[in-house]
């Protein structure tokens, strides 16, 4: 297993509380303690963990900090898979769809194998790679890549999006308040989402239940601007929801 894969797994084990000592980590990863020590040194230099005597612990970031993609990918993973399966109800053969750089949108990608005629426009570098391997027609927005989200943003990305029309845009963000406000820490990613929404017939918000009641730095839109909200559980009353 290469380091980048071990890195994801170490962080997952630490964040899930499945391991905290070097002995536990090495055993679960099937690696030597020497290899683990080198891995932990690299993660500590990146500011992702704190090494302790005989173990390690994750650094807990404030809620409005940007969380790396490979950590967010494991957040609410069961919920995101349920949401992804529900999203398929809004995708049809011959459609052009847009996916933003959120992990909730990325969760849809593996389920697209059932379609033979589909075009996907996405700002997610990771989604582009997977879609290419699946032989699905893919248009990458390009632009400036944000390293923590592996998504493309900026004027170049927005100009690409504005050149196309889509049947549906699937996107997410970090917060949904009870009065219907959608928000996210990343202004740049929200601007890309707005461009996708403007170019799509349907605007579909992928909202796992952990986002409900949360508010972040930058406002994306109001829930009244959205055509569909997909959640893994029944939503509580939200002001302005259609």
Q: For the chain, how long is the longest CA-to-CA vector?
A: 57
Q: Do 136 and 190 belong together in one domain?
A: yes
Q: Quick check: 1 pLDDT over 70?
A: no
Is the sign of the CA dihedral 80, 67, 121, 161 positive or negative? positive
The average confidence (pLDDT) of the chain is 87
- The reported pTM is 0.71
Q: Do 36 and 98 belong together in one domain?
A: no
Q: 42, 60, 78: which is the final residue of a domain?
A: 60
Indicate which CATH number applies to the domain containing 112.
Answer: 3.40.50.1360
Over the stretch 182-203, which tens digit does the pLDDT of each residue have?
999 999 999 999 999 999 999 9
Q: Does 240 fall in a domain?
A: no
Q: Do 215 and 128 belong together in one domain?
A: yes
Confidence category of residue 19, pLDDT binned at 50, 70, 90:
low
38 or 120, greater pLDDT: 120
Write the CA distances from 78 to 51, 136, 142, 232, integer angstroms: 30, 25, 30, 9
Q: Do 142 and 38 belong together in one domain?
A: no
pLDDT confidence of residue 60: 55
CB-based burial label for 152 (10 Å; 0-12, 13-18, 19+): buried
Q: Do 40 and 122 belong together in one domain?
A: no
Of the listed ranges 116-120, 135-139, 148-152, 217-221, the one predicted with least confidence: 148-152
Confidence category of residue 73, pLDDT binned at 50, 70, 90:
very low
Determine the average pLDDT of the residues in 134-161.
Answer: 94
Which structure tokens are listed for 51?
A: 């090494």
Q: Does 238 fall in a domain?
A: no
Q: Does 239 fall in a domain?
A: no
Determine the average pLDDT of the residues in 14-33.
Answer: 83
Q: Do 102 and 185 belong together in one domain?
A: yes
pLDDT confidence of residue 145: 92
Which structure tokens are listed for 81?
A: 């898979």
pLDDT confidence of residue 179: 93
Determine the average pLDDT of the residues in 14-39.
Answer: 85
Tokens 């009870």 belong to: 178
Q: Do 136 and 204 belong together in one domain?
A: yes
pLDDT confidence of residue 69: 47
Q: Do 38 and 147 belong together in one domain?
A: no
How many structural domains is the chain composed of?
2
Which structure tokens are listed for 24?
A: 């536990």
Q: Do 169 and 146 belong together in one domain?
A: yes
Q: Do 55 and 18 belong together in one domain?
A: yes
Share of the chain above pLDDT 90, in %: 58
Q: How many CB atoms lie within 10 A of CB 162?
A: 12
Q: Do 165 and 104 belong together in one domain?
A: yes
What DSSP line would sit under the chain, residue for residue?
--HHHHHHHHHHHHHHTS--BHHHHHHHHT--HHHHHHHHHHHHHTTSEEEETTEEEE----TTSPPPHHHHTTTTHHHHHHHHHHHGGG--TT-EEEE-SSHHHHTTGGGGGG-SS-EEEESBHHHHHHHHHTT-EEEE--SEEETTTTEEESHHHHHHHHT--EEEEEE--SEE-TT-EEEES-HHHHHHHHHHHHTEEEEEEE--GGGBT---SEEEEEGGG-SEEE-SSPPPP-TT--
Range of the domain at 82: 70-230
């Amino acid at each position: 297993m290469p380091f980048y894969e071990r890195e994801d797994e170490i962080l997952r084990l630490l964040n899930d509380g499945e391991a905290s000592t070097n002995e536990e980590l090495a055993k679960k990863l099937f690696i030597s303690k020497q290899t683990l020590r080198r891995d932990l040194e690299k993660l500590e230099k990146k500011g992702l963990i704190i090494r302790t005597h005989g173990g390690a612990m994750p650094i807990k970031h404030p809620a409005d900090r940007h969380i790396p993609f490979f950590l967010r990918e494991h957040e609410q993973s069961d919920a995101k898979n349920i949401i992804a399966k529900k999203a398929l109800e809004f995708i049809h053969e011959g459609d052009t769809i847009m996916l933003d750089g959120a992990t909730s949108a990325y969760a849809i990608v593996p389920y697209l194998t059932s379609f033979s005629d589909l075009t996907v426009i996405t700002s997610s570098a990771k989604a582009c790679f997977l879609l290419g391997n699946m032989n699905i027609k893919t248009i990458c927005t390009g632009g400036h890549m944000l390293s923590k989200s592996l998504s493309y943003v900026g004027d170049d990305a927005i100009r690409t999006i504005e050149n196309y029309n889509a049947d549906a845009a699937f996107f997410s963000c970090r917060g949904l308040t009870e009065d219907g406000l959608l928000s996210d820490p990343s202004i740049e990613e929200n601007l890309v989402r707005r461009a996708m929404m403007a170019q799509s017939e349907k605007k579909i918000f992928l909202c796992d239940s952990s986002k409900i009641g949360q508010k972040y730095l930058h406002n994306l839109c109001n829930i009244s601007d959205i055509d569909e909200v997909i959640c893994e559980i029944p939503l509580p009353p939200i002001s302005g929801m259609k």
